[in-house]
C-alpha cells in the first residue's frame, strides 16, 4: 500500500503540469498513504507536555496521539480534554489529517503511569515531558521498549542519570530508534545558519564565549489540601534539586548547549559560584544565582551566568568570540551584521514543531537521528556548574560523570514515603560524593 502510493506519486511527477497541480494539493492528500503512521504516547501532561503533543500534531501528516499519562489525575484528564479540543478545532491539525484518539482507557495517572504509556502496544513515539528528575528512568524505559523518543530537556539531574542516558544513546543506536531533544535551538533555522558560519570560520578559531539566563524569580505552588510530602514536592517541582536539577540545569542548559555546539565539544572543567537570597520555604532549597567559568580544550574559558532574582539586569542569550571577531549567536549576528535575512528568521518554522518534523522525517527515511548524547552532555555541563557552586570545588568532566551522588531514587517512590530534609547547599561543606 505504502509502496504503490509513492510509485503513483513518482509517475504523476513526470509531467510538469501535473506536478504543479499536485503541489497545490494539501499535504495530507498525497503524503499520508505513503507515510509510516506515528502513534504518540505522552508522559507528563503539564503545559509543556500538552504543548509538545500539540506541536507533534503540526509536525507531519499521519500522526495520532494514542495515550497520555501523568502522576496527577487532574493533569492527565485536563490534557485529554485539551488535546480533544485541539483535534476538533485546530485547522492545521485537521489539514494534516492528524488525530487524537484518547478513550478513557488510554489516559493514565499515578507514579507508574509512565510505564503504561511507554509500554502501550499502540505507541511507537513517546514524548517525555515530566520534570527533569524522572528523565533518565523514562528514557531508559522507552528505548528498552523499542520506542522512538522525543525528550524534553534537561535529561537528568545527576551523574548516574546522565550515565543512564548515555547508555540509552547506545541502545537507541543499536535498535535504530530515533531520538530528539527539546533543546530546540538545534532545530531553529536562525541558530543553525549562524553556528554553521561560525564553524565555517566566520570569526576564526573560537577563543571564548559568554552565555546568560538572567531573569526574575519564577514560580512556586502552594500545597493543596491532603497532599503528601512527595505529592507536594512533585507539584512544586521547580524548587527541589532532586526533581528540577536547580534552574541552572532546568533552563540554562539551553545556553550551555549552544556553547557546546559552537565549541563542538563538552567542557573539561568548571569553577562556579552561587547562592540564594530568597528564604521562603515554598521556594525549596535551590539557589537563585550561579556564575561560572567553563573551561574548554586549549585553555579556552567561557563565562556563564544564571540568575532568577527580580529587578536585576536580565539577559537570555549567547555570545562567542574568535580570532577574527565576535558573534552574538542568540541575536543571529556575526561581527555586528545579521548572519541571515531577518525575514527568514521571522518566517522560519516554529522550532518546537520543527524538532518533531526532523525526528519523524528521519524515522520515516529509515535513518533515525539520535540526539541523546548531545543533550546528555549539555545537561551534564549544567550539572557541573551546579555542583561546583554547591560544593565550592572545581569539578572536572570525569568527576561529574563518575559521581554517585543521587538525590532520590525516583524508580522507587511511594506517595507516603519519608523524604530527606533538603538543605540549602553550603560551599566548602557540601560534598559531591
Partner 1 sequence: MRRICLILPLAVASLVAWVLHPETISAQAPQGASYKETLPGSKVSFDMQAIPGGTFLMGTPEGEAGRAADEGPQHEVELKPFWMGKCEVTWDEFDVYWKSEDQPNARKDEPAASKADAITRPTPAYADETFGHGRDGNPVICITHHTAMEYCRWLSRKTGKWYRLPTEAEWEYACRAGTKTAYSFGNDPATVGDYGWFADNSEELAKKVGQKKPNPWGLHDMHGNVMEWCVDHYEKDAYARFAMNKLSVRPVVMPSEKRFSHVARGGSWADKPVSLRSGARRGSDKSWIRLDPQRPQSIWWLTSAEFVGFRVVRPLEEQTELVGLRSKVTKQSP
Q: Which residue ranges make up the site for partner 1 (CB under 8 A)?
A: 47-48, 50-55, 82, 86, 89, 184, 213-219, 221, 251, 310-311, 314-317, 331, 342, 350-352
Nearest distance from C-beta of residue 404 to partner 1, angstroms: 32
Nearest distance from C-beta of residue 313 to partner 1, angstroms: 9
Nearest distance from C-beta of residue 50 to partner 1, angstroms: 4
Give the whole-angstrom CA distance, residue 275 versus residue 9: 61
Of 45 and 168, CB closest to partner 1: 45
Of 242 and 332, CB closest to partner 1: 332
Of 331 and 427, CB closest to partner 1: 331
Residue 266 DSSP one-character state: -
Nearest distance from C-beta of residue 81 to partner 1, angstroms: 11
Cβ atoms of 323 and 205 closer than 8 Å = yes
Cα 404–chain centre separation: 24
Nearest distance from C-beta of residue 317 to partner 1, angstroms: 7
Cβ atoms of 128 and 348 closer than 8 Å = no
Of 214 and 430, CB closest to partner 1: 214
Sign of the four-CA dihedral 392, 395, 401, 403: negative
Cβ atoms of 243 and 157 closer than 8 Å = yes
Cα 387–chain centre separation: 21
**CA-to-CA dists, residue 405 to 181, 360, 433, angstroms:** 24, 36, 5
Of 32 and 233, CB closest to partner 1: 233
Residues whose CB falls within 8 Å of the CB of residue 312, separated by 6 or more in sequence, listed in order: 214, 216
Of 219 and 404, CB closest to partner 1: 219
Strand partners, 354: none
Nearest distance from C-beta of residue 409 to partner 1, angstroms: 28
Cβ atoms of 210 and 252 closer than 8 Å = no
Of 184 and 381, CB closest to partner 1: 184
Cis peptide before 348 (omega within 30 of 0): no
Of 72 and 407, CB closest to partner 1: 72
Nearest distance from C-beta of residue 205 to partner 1, angstroms: 27
Q: Of 27, 48, 37, 43, which Cα lies nearest the Cα of 352?
A: 48
Show the cell assigned to 326. 565576535
Of 30 and 289, CB closest to partner 1: 289
Cβ atoms of 295 and 270 closer than 8 Å = yes
Show the cell assigned to 50. 500538552
Nearest distance from C-beta of residue 372 to partner 1, angstroms: 20
Residue 403 DSSP one-character state: -
- Strand spans (E) along 191-309: 206-215, 269-275, 289-296, 300-308
Nearest distance from C-beta of residue 175 to partner 1, angstroms: 28
**CA-to-CA dists, residue 96 to 32, 124, 232, angstroms:** 8, 19, 40
Nearest distance from C-beta of residue 234 to partner 1, angstroms: 13
Of 296 and 319, CB closest to partner 1: 319
Amino acid at each position: 500500500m505504502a509502496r504503490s502510493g509513492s510509485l503513483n506519486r513518482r509517475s504523476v511527477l513526470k509531467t510538469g503540469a501535473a506536478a504543479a497541480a499536485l503541489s497545490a494539493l494539501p499535504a495530507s492528500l498525497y503524503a499520508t498513504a505513503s507515510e509510516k503512521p506515528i502513534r504518540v504516547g505522552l508522559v507528563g501532561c503539564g503545559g509543556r507536555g500538552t504543548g509538545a503533543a500539540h506541536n507533534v500534531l503540526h509536525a507531519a501528516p499521519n500522526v495520532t496521539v494514542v495515550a497520555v499519562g501523568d502522576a496527577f489525575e487532574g493533569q492527565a484528564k485536563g490534557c485529554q480534554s485539551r488535546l480533544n479540543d485541539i483535534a476538533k478545532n485546530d485547522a492545521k491539525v485537521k489539514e494534516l489529517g492528524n488525530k487524537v484518539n484518547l478513550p478513557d482507557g488510554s489516559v493514565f495517572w499515578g507514579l507508574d503511569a509512565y510505564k503504561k504509556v511507554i509500554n502501550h502496544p499502540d505507541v511507537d513515539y513517546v514524548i517525555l515531558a515530566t520534570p527533569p528528575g524522572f528523565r533518565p528512568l523514562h528514557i531508559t524505559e522507552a528505548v528498552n521498549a523499542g520506542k522512538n523518543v522525543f525528550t524534553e530537556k534537561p535529561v537528568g539531574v545527576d551523574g548516574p542519570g546522565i550515565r543512564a542516558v548515555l547508555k540509552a544513546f547506545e541502545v537507541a543506536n543499536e535498535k535504530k530508534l530515533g531520538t530528539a531533544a527539546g533543546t530546540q535551538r538545534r532545530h531553529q533555522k536562525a541558530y543553525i545558519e549562524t553556528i554553521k558560519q561560525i564553524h565555517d570560520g566566520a570569526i576564526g578559531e573560537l577563543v571564548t564565549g559568554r552565555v546568560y539566563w538572567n531573569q526574575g524569580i519564577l514560580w512556586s505552588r502552594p500545597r493543596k489540601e491532603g497532599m503528601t510530602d512527595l505529592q507536594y514536592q512533585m507539584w512544586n517541582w521547580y524548587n527541589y534539586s532532586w526533581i528540577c536539577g536547580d534552574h541552572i540545569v532546568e533552563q540554562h542548559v539551553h545556553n550551555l548547549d549552544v556553547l557546546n555546539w559552537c565549541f563542538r565539544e563538552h567542557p573539561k572543567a568548571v569553577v562556579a559560584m552561587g547562592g540564594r537570597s530568597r528564604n521562603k520555604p515554598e521556594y525549596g532549597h535551590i539557589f537563585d544565582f550561579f556564575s561560572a567559568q567553563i573551561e574548554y580544550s586549549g585553555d579556552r574559558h567561557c563565562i556563564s551566568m544564571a540568575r532568577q532574582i527580580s529587578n536585576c539586569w536580565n539577559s537570555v542569550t549567547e555570545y562567542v568570540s574568535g580570532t577574527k571577531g565576535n558573534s552574538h549567536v542568540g541575536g543571529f549576528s556575526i561581527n555586528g551584521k545579521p548572519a541571515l535575512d531577518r525575514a527568514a528568521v521571522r518566517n522560519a518554522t516554529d522550532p518546537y514543531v520543527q524538532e518533531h518534523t526532523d525526528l519523524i522525517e528521519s524515522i520515516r527515511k529509515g535513518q533515525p537521528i539520535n540526539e541523546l548524547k548531545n543533550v546528555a552532555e549539555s545537561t551534564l555541563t549544567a550539572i557541573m556548574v551546579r555542583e561546583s557552586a554547591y560544593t565550592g570545588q572545581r569539578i572536572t568532566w570525569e568527576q561529574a560523570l563518575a559521581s554517585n551522588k543521587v538525590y532520590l531514587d525516583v524508580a522507587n517512590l511511594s506517595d507516603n514515603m519519608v523524604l530527606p530534609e533538603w538543605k540549602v547547599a553550603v560551599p566548602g561543606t557540601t560534598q559531591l560524593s
